Structure 1
Amino acid sequence: MRFVSFLLLLISILLYHYYSTYYSDDMGNETLPILIIGGGLAGLSATVEAATLEPSVKVILVDKEANIGGNSAKATSGINAMTEPGDSLDAFERDTLASGGGLSNPDLVHKLVHESEEALAWLKLQDPTLDLGVVSQCGGHTHPRTHRCPPAPDGRPVPVGFRTITALKDRIAQLSNVQVWTSTRVANIYPEEKRVRLVKEGETLDLDVSAVVLTSGGFAGQTQELQQPEGTKTLLSEYAPQLLNTATTNGPWANGDGVRLGLAAGAATKDMEHIQVHPSGFVDPNNPNSGSKFLAPEALRAYGAVMLNADGHRFADELSRRDVLTKSIFEANSRGRGHLPPDYASCYLVLTEPMIEQFGKATASFYAKKGLFVQCNGLDEVAAYIQVDPTQLKDEFTRYDMHVVERKNDTSVKAAPDAFGKTVFPNPITSDGTYWVGIITPCVHYTMGGLAINSEAAVMSSKTNNPIPGLFAAGEVTSGVHGRNRLAGNSLLECVVYGRTAGRSASLYASEN
């Protein structure tokens, strides 16, 4: 009997130290661990920053999924940073504010832009082998500033989101004061009581913490009315019911858990009704009504891809902002004609072989193997595929290429825009070689709204409009940076800039309190 009692006592002690280990500073004072909720790029950035700033404080990163990475691991367009000649901080800031349509917080945008180069350098510091040297100009940008990875030496594609996540995961594995708990769901947070309640391995656990950082993403992953598996109403159905049953590029884990935790703790929210519908999700011809779509990266259009309606005509500036381009696709009204699905708006995306080479043939070939690209030998085959007259299609391409030639012949003079306002023409579209043709449709992609934060990533109270002590947040769970519409590449940048800020703020708060 004594042995059983001793064994139970020993188990209790071990569990206590596993779940609630305190770290002591040089004065013998005990410091509670920092809890970071969400293992995407924002959470990983916060974890590394907090753990390295104060090595004596334990950092616990929890994620409800079996693997960390979240939507960040799926990112393909890149991460923004002002590094190219001719660009400027002012131009980058203007582009971001213009895209936000007057709803962005200027202070948050200023910080995002002015710390962009440092963010890129910090990522490379964590993993010197991380190569973000491919730079393209995406929609809404006045200069090239979106960085991604070149193909591997053997030609395999290197997705920027997955590669960046891998770099930070490897860095975290080197930090002795970090624990990562996967398959762990946070049920409640009580910042003022310095306590959280979570469910780990089927057991409910109350954990004492010094600070909480929410980095759990947005709520664009469940576009049905009811959330699965809980059966409660989705946040999307509450704030943007017009988008119910629209396809999404998100994983189902993006259901707004962090927003709900913040609301329950008294947090303010902002811009919850502003949901970004990305103009280019790939349509799988073998499963056109799938509710989940592969994103057709914006970099495809950055290298000159054109968009055609069912009649084989261009109808928009392919490098417009995402919201503008999405509206244009809906207005093109090409449903159910040719290969285009009858149930929702879509159009054709057409690239030449040189565009594909510049984008990355290995990545494009991956999409082709998935059935998302059809390869056509010459313009006549393109016309036959989309079921239009080849002469008419040739005329359309010739008109486009006139602008390409005009800018190539006289780079010193700003040429007039085309009929759709386009001023950047990366490559000619007329070619005797192979064309790559895909079908794209607008998809729910990103939630601009979320918890209100200040420039130190502190979550603001809905009652006092002051920071909630000990509660911080970063990434898509927050609001204020993107306003009505997010620029391509600013999401990964926000994750690093504000993830680091949140980790730093949480670490300082833990040390001072």
Structure 2
Amino acid sequence: MAQVIVVGGGLAGLSAAHTLLERGANVLLLDKQPFMGGNSTKATSGINGAGTQTQQEQGIPDNAKIFFEDTKKSARELARDDLIQVLTGRSGDAVNWLQDKFGLDLSKVARLGGHSQPRTHRGGAQFPGMVITYAQMERLEDLSVSIPDRVKIIKKARVTKLLTDPTTHAVIGVEYVHNSKTLNAYGPVILATGGYAADFSPTSLLKQFRPEYYELPTTNGDHCTGDGQKMAMAIGASAIDLEKVQVHPTGLVDPTEPEAKVKFLAAEALRGVGGLLLDNEGQRFVDELQHRDFVTGKIWENGKYPIRLILNGQASSEIEWHCKHYVGRGLMKRFESGEALAKEMGLKPEVLKKTFDTYNAGVRAKKDPFGKKFFSSGEWSMNDYFNVALMTPVLHYTMGGLEIDAASRVISKSTGAPVAGLFAAGEVAGGVHGANRLGGSSLLGCVVFGRVSGDEAAAYLLQQTGKMVEKAAGRLGVIGGHLEGSAAPANAEAKEEKKEEKAASGGVNEYSLDDVKKHNKKDDIWVVVNGQVLDVTSFLPDHPGGEKAILLYAGRDATEEFNMLHDPKVIPRYAPDSVIGNVKK
């Protein structure tokens, strides 16, 4: 059975997989994580789209040409018109596809830094990256159960090598490790393995190309180690712009762990709705909606730490779910007045009031001293409440990566022509964003180039005759597509379905909240979610959001935080064995 191999289960890989299925191709998805999703689930601002149905309904005069110019300006001297044309030209269709195919709510549109029009789409109550990625992930997992002959998903499968035909040098498959066994799979390959902004390994691309950034904290999961780039370069693929690493200006500093290597990102949407950046003297020092690298540079240039991101009541209400989430994690603090905030900052109230008054005057005159052009409505007052967080620049996104053409085909370093059978989508691909990526374009790049790579890989697969595929596979001892243990994923999913039914029936045990409170250590941790008691001790290392997200609620009721981020079926689907009973009524 001929297939396309997708390496990586983030949004780019998922978009590629769904597109392949739409084009009639079969899919094998290999992901080295225990759960799919990758960094895509962390994206908190939204997904860009120009000329979308949502924009049209709201009377926003945006189009692909305007978006192209904004992106080209941000990309600066490294702008690749061909790739930007694909990214922006297919952006509206990508957003509409997500809404139509997956029933997603993307009805809110914001303007982020560097954008001349509001075009960053998100929904109402939940975080867009997680919502968009989970919708695709759950649909694909359901398909792996209902049509296992067409969709196979293997998790905890670490791809270690690209296999090539010794004569044509075309990519014909991958070598991967699963359950301590080294296996081969055959077919054209789409790499969707992400970036290298957490590459602190001995072969670190980060240390090689941006050593001055090596000690900075990162927002990336520890799986972002440049695997796809390194494997492709090992067979002669070209890489470009590897020195272009984006440092995001607003990483959240946890007051209890200020030196933590991994930081949670403060969504750019927080500044998009009107948040201000103030230094330790209570002064603004930058247009908060400038490009990310510009704001980062001004933070370093100003040097008056700590830097605080401050949202007034109106801004907080516009992005309430984010604020609640950050406050729940201990990363943001609420103050009930300007006087209380000034006291926290060690300032006299009149200093903070002057900053607010100066900003209000600039808004009224549409003449900001730092060049800000777009303002949120409403004035800043000391008689308001504020949500406040400490900020630090953080490693966030790698613009460099594998060189691709407009068809997502990876380019050979020696010939300058596409490497047959090899495609790349998402952060693993370089050149799409040039020298600096616009906020909201990471999810977009995943969806657009995921779909492009799916289209092109399906077409490539159709061009190969069955004899050629079987001959290549036979030369290496396996008939293409017939994998050792290939039924395992479907069987695993079937077992999960049974577990769902079992979990849905409810546990027989009942526990009081006092019982739950006793289990509040890393090696013995219970939480309550929607009236169910969960023993998440063994699940802790596999949690996609990291251990800390659960440890914050050890021995406590985590319902509000859980429901902010997850659909109720997440527990029966992904952690049914953790349910040990119900809370006593």
Q: TM-score, normalised by structure 1?
A: 0.85
Q: In structure 1, what is the equivalent of residue 548 of structure 2?
A: none
Is 2:163 aligned against 1:216?
A: no
Structure 1 contact 401–430 (Cα < 8 Å) conserved: no
Opposite residue 378 of structure 1, the aligned amino acid is S
Shift of 1:75: 0.8
Is 2:334 aligned against 1:356?
A: no
Q: Deviations over 1:239-289 (max 9, x none)?
A: 110011211000000000000111012110110000000000000111111
Q: In structure 1, what is the equivalent of residue 117 of structure 2?
A: 143
Pick aligned residue for 2:272 from 274, 277, 302: 302
Q: In structure 2, what is the equivalent of residue 494 of structure 1?
A: 445
Opposite residue 164 of structure 1, the aligned amino acid is I
Task: For residue 471 of structure 1, give the secondary structure of its aligned residue in structure 2.
Answer: strand
Structure 1 contact 40–68 (Cα < 8 Å) conserved: yes
Shift of 1:170: 2.4
Shift of 1:235: 1.1
Give the distance between the partners of 1:378 and 1:178, measured in 2 at CA.
55
Q: In structure 2, what is the equivalent of residue 344 of structure 1?
A: none
Q: In structure 2, what is the equivalent of residue 117 of structure 1?
A: 92
Shift of 1:390: 1.4
Task: For residue 309 of structure 2, give the secondary structure of its aligned residue in structure 1.
Answer: strand
Is 2:390 aligned against 1:430?
A: no
Give the distance between the partners of 2:239 and 2:171, measured in 1 at CA.
22
Is 2:20 aligned against 1:50?
A: yes
* Superposition misfits of 4+ residues, deviation over 4 angstroms: none
Give the distance between the partners of 1:202 and 1:383, measured in 2 at CA.
57
Shift of 1:437: 1.3
Shift of 1:403: 2.4
Is 2:78 aligned against 1:103?
A: yes
Opposite residue 237 of structure 1, the aligned amino acid is K
Is 2:343 aligned against 1:384?
A: yes
Give the distance between the partners of 2:235 and 2:107, measured in 1 at CA.
42
Give the distance between the partners of 2:236 and 2:248, measured in 1 at CA.
31
Shift of 1:125: 2.6
Give the distance between the partners of 1:205 and 1:103, measured in 2 at CA.
39
Give the distance between the partners of 1:253 and 1:280, measured in 2 at CA.
22
Task: For residue 469 of structure 1, give the secondary structure of its aligned residue in structure 2.
Answer: strand
Q: Deviations over 1:317-356 (max 9, x none)?
A: 0000000000011111123xxxx3xxxxxx0111111111
Change (3 A) 1:423 1:193: closer
Structure 1 contact 189–195 (Cα < 8 Å) conserved: yes
Change (3 A) 1:181 1:120: same
Which segment is superposed worse, 119-128 or 267-276?
119-128
Shift of 1:88: 2.8
Q: In structure 2, what is the equivalent of residue 233 of structure 1?
A: 203
Is 2:199 aligned against 1:195?
A: no
Q: Deviations over 1:358-381 (max 9, x none)?
A: 11x232112112121121121111
Task: For residue 18 of structure 2, give the secondary structure of its aligned residue in structure 1.
Answer: helix
Change (3 A) 1:212 1:429: same
Which segment is superposed worse, 382-391 or 69-78?
382-391
Shift of 1:117: 0.9
Task: For residue 246 of structure 2, give the secondary structure of its aligned residue in structure 1.
Answer: strand
Give the distance between the partners of 1:253 and 1:422, measured in 2 at CA.
37
Give the distance between the partners of 1:456 and 1:233, measured in 2 at CA.
29
Structure 1 contact 116–493 (Cα < 8 Å) conserved: yes
Q: How many residues align?
A: 446
Is 2:49 aligned against 1:76?
A: no
Q: In structure 1, what is the equivalent of residue 368 of structure 2?
A: 418
Q: Deviations over 1:28-82 (max 9, x none)?
A: xxxx22101000000000001012201xx42100001111000001111110012
1:395-414 maps to which residues of 2 (within 5 A)? 395-406=354-365
Give the distance between the partners of 1:481 and 1:497, measured in 2 at CA.
11
Is 2:459 aligned against 1:482?
A: no
Q: TM-score, normalised by structure 2?
A: 0.75
Structure 2 contact 141–153 (Cα < 8 Å) conserved: no
Pick aligned residue for 2:131 from 163, 187, 208: 163
Is 2:450 aligned against 1:472?
A: no
Pick aligned residue for 1:367 from 314, 326, 331: 326
Change (3 A) 1:190 1:134: same
Q: Deviations over 1:392-443 (max 9, x none)?
A: 211111010012233xxxxxxxx4x311111111142224121111111110
Task: For residue 101 of structure 1, give the secondary structure of its aligned residue in structure 2.
Answer: helix
Give the distance between the partners of 2:382 and 2:324, measured in 1 at CA.
19
Opposite residue 204 of structure 1, the aligned amino acid is T
Task: For residue 372 of structure 1, give the secondary structure of its aligned residue in structure 2.
Answer: coil
Calculate percent identity across the aligned residue pairs.
38
Opposite residue 32 of structure 2, the aligned amino acid is K
> How large is the RMSD of aligned CA atoms in angstroms?
1.2
